[in-house]
Structure formats: structure tokens, C-alpha cells
Amino acid sequence: MRVFLLSVAVAAVCAATAGARPTATPGVNANEIRLGSSVPLSGEAAAAGNVARGADAYFKYVNAKGGVLGRKINFTYLDDGYDPGRAVNNTIRLVQQQQVFAMFNTLGTNNNLAIRKFLNQAGVPQLFVAAGATTFGRDYRQYPWTIGYIPPYSEEGELYGKYIVSHLKKAKIAVLYQDDDYGRDLYAGLRKGLGKNANAIVGKVGYDPTASDVQPQIAQLKATKANVLCIFAFGKFSLQAFNGVSRVGWKPQIFVNDVSAASSLMVAVPQKAANGAISIVFGKDPAAPVWARDKGVALFRRILRQYGSNITSRDLLDGYYVAGMGAAYTMVDALKKAGKNLTRDSIMRAATHLTERGNPFLLPGIVVRTTPSFRFPVTQVKLQRWRTRAWHPFGKLLSVKP
């Protein structure tokens, strides 16, 4: 019933918006570009809200240097507590009341799915989505105003499957996954990567993102006698999974998906469970020793110190802030490419014709590339391994192109 009522409310707003015929581009004037976002600043996924805080600091840095073609970016992000219903309410408020030009980097698969239809029917760009569900890059014909950003989850899962086949003999795999498009994409990719070895999966358990605890599921998976565990979870559930592994004395080879692999989260879990875990990486982790003298990380820290709010030494090691700056850097590139005569049509043309090299917040060598029919901006990653309380990238850049 809740989903039905939510759909009716969105449909009504869509109809009202579709009937309007504005003569000027909303959210743009001679001096300003208004962008909006909805992110979890509270609740179990609150740590990920620092993505928006990082983007906000970068936009303020750009504004201090003159803005984009003479316009300052006014970025408003609202708390949704990782709840799709609140994300819908936030988006309606930002589009209809605050008249934002575009939604930028809204976080979470279910939240972006909840707002996508409204934004596309209203002709409002849904830019550089902070979720890797394949649908945000794949289904552009149905949703032409939407484009993803981070590496697609299905290809991330496939990469783990291929690594297991190549490096782990006699693997018996258990999977904990969030039972929505996010977790299912990762699981489907894992099976694809395993290929004919998919029968090595001896146990899988999905959990509802409104659940309170997944540690019982970890005990259930341990009972399968698996020696590999894939944690396709988010926020507090990833933390609980590591805690559960430690509590039951299980010692599998762990693979943890990228969006739950921030160093700020990994240092908070029992290190006897975390050590040796493998994930992917596409942005520079300011807590990783390999980037200690990197110019991009030094820039990140300068920007955050000057333009962030209530910044602590811990924040300067938080990769979520860097992820936000990486996406904001691409957003600024797209705005520049769209030109002085900025419209919603022109920003979509720019966002779907990118060849961005040298984003200082992404790994060296990554090219942010899009076309009108290829809306997966970041499709290069490295593998990384957790040890001595830090991530250590290894190997060469790998393609995760769908």
C-alpha cells in the first residue's frame, strides 16, 4: 500500500509538472546555477552523506575561483535517511519549490529509482547518480534524463567472480546481499564472472534494507562451510557482517563491494575479520599509504579544510568526501561543456559526450567517457586488499564496461 500511494503521489506531481510551460530554464540565471540532491545524512547509511559534503566543498572552491562561465553553483542537499519516500519528498521540494536546474549525485539505488520517473516526466536532469545499479546507464531510452556515474555493480560482481576462478582453488562461496537492484546486480555479476563455476556458490542470503541486523545471516552462511564470503551490503549491514564473521570465528576470504569499503568503515570493524579482504577502487582513498604524497589528495585536503564545515582530522581521511569531489569535478566539466547558453537539453548533451582525463580525485589513467548510448561514465577500476588498517591497490587498471 505504501508503494502504491507513493506512486500515485509521484504520478500526480508528474502530471502537474508536465502541464507547466516555463519560458526560461529553471534554476539558471545570469549569476547562478541551482543544483539539488537527496542523501542520507542520518540513519544507518549516514556516513555516505559525506559524498554530498565533499561535492559541496568542491563547488564552493570553484565558486571562489569565479564559478562556471561566470555563474556560481548553488548546491542544496537534503537528508533522506536512506528512505526512498523521503527522497521523493526532497526531490519534489527541490524541483518545484526551489526550482533546481538539475538533481546531482543523489545517493542510493532505491532512492534514485523512486525519483527517476518523476524527474524524467518533468524533463529534469538526474545527473551522475551515486548508485551503480546497471539500469541507470542501460535504460536511457526509457529514461533519457538520467545518467549514472560510479562503476556498475553487475560488472563489479563479475570482476570478483573472475578473480575467484583465477586465484582461489576449490572455492566454496557464500553471499550476503541486499535484496534489491543493488544487491541483485552484484550477485548476478558474480555468477556471470564465475561462469561454469557458478555451482561453487554454496549459500546465499538476501536481507531487506529495512532490517535491523544481519549477523544471524552470517551465522547461517558459516554453516555452509564456505571458504569465501561476498559481502554485498551497505552501511551498517556491512559493519554487522564483519562483526558477525569475527563473532562466530569464521575465516573466509572476503570480498566486499566498493560502496561499503571506505577506510572510515573498515577501520571500525574487527581487524582479524577485515585483514585480507578484497574490493575494487576507482577514486583515491586519502587514508591509503599509496596516495600520501599525491597532488590530487593534497588538493582534496586543501579544499575540505577551507570550504568544508566542522572538518576534523578524521574527515581528511574519509574517501566518501573524495568520491563527492570526483563527481563534482565531472559535473563542473559538463557545465563548462554545455556552454554559456545553459539549458537542460544542453547539459544532457554535454553529460553524454564526455571524454574527461585527469580528474584529480580518480585513479591515474581513468578516463570518464560517455556517449548518448553509453551512460556509464566510470568503467575502470583496480583491485585492492585490506591489510595493516589500510587499503593497498594492486594490479593494473581493469575494465568493467557493460
Q: What domains does the chain contain, in order, with CATH numbers?
A: 2-14+25-151+296-382 (3.40.50.2300), 153-281 (3.40.50.2300)
pLDDT at residue 291 greater than cutoff 60: yes
| Helix runs in 275-343, H state only | 295-307, 319-338
pLDDT at residue 19 greater than cutoff 80: no
Residue-level pLDDT at 13: 47
Count of C-beta atoms within a 10 Å radius of residue 24:
8
Would you state the cell numbers that stand for residue 222, as one nine-digit string? 558459516
Residue-level pLDDT at 10: 52
pLDDT at residue 3 greater than cutoff 50: no
Count of C-beta atoms within a 10 Å radius of residue 65:
7
pLDDT tens string 98-140: 999 999 999 999 999 999 999 999 999 999 999 999 999 999 9
pLDDT tens string 193-251: 999 999 999 999 999 988 889 999 999 999 999 999 999 998 889 999 999 999 999 99
3-state secondary structure of 173: strand
Tally of CA atoms within 13 A in the half-sphere of 381 that contains its CB? 25
Residue-level pLDDT at 78: 98
User: Contact at 8 Å (CB) between 391 and 143?
Assistant: no
Residue-level pLDDT at 15: 44
pLDDT at residue 339 greater than cutoff 80: yes
CA dist 272 and 287 (Å) reads 19
Residues 6+ apart with CB under 8 A from 358: none
Residues 6+ apart with CB under 8 A from 172: 200, 202, 224, 225, 226, 227, 228
CA dist 267 and 147 (Å) reads 32
Residue-level pLDDT at 209: 85
Q: What angle do CA 316, 317, 323 make, to 5 degrees?
A: 90
Residue-level pLDDT at 234: 87
Residue-level pLDDT at 317: 96
Which regions of 213-320 does DSSP assign to beta strands (E)? Answer: 228-232, 253-256, 278-281
pLDDT at residue 143 greater than cutoff 90: yes
Q: What is the CA radius of gyration of the chain?
A: 21
Q: What pLDDT band is residue 16 in, cutting at 50, 70 and 90?
A: very low
Strand partners, 393: 384
Residue-level pLDDT at 401: 87
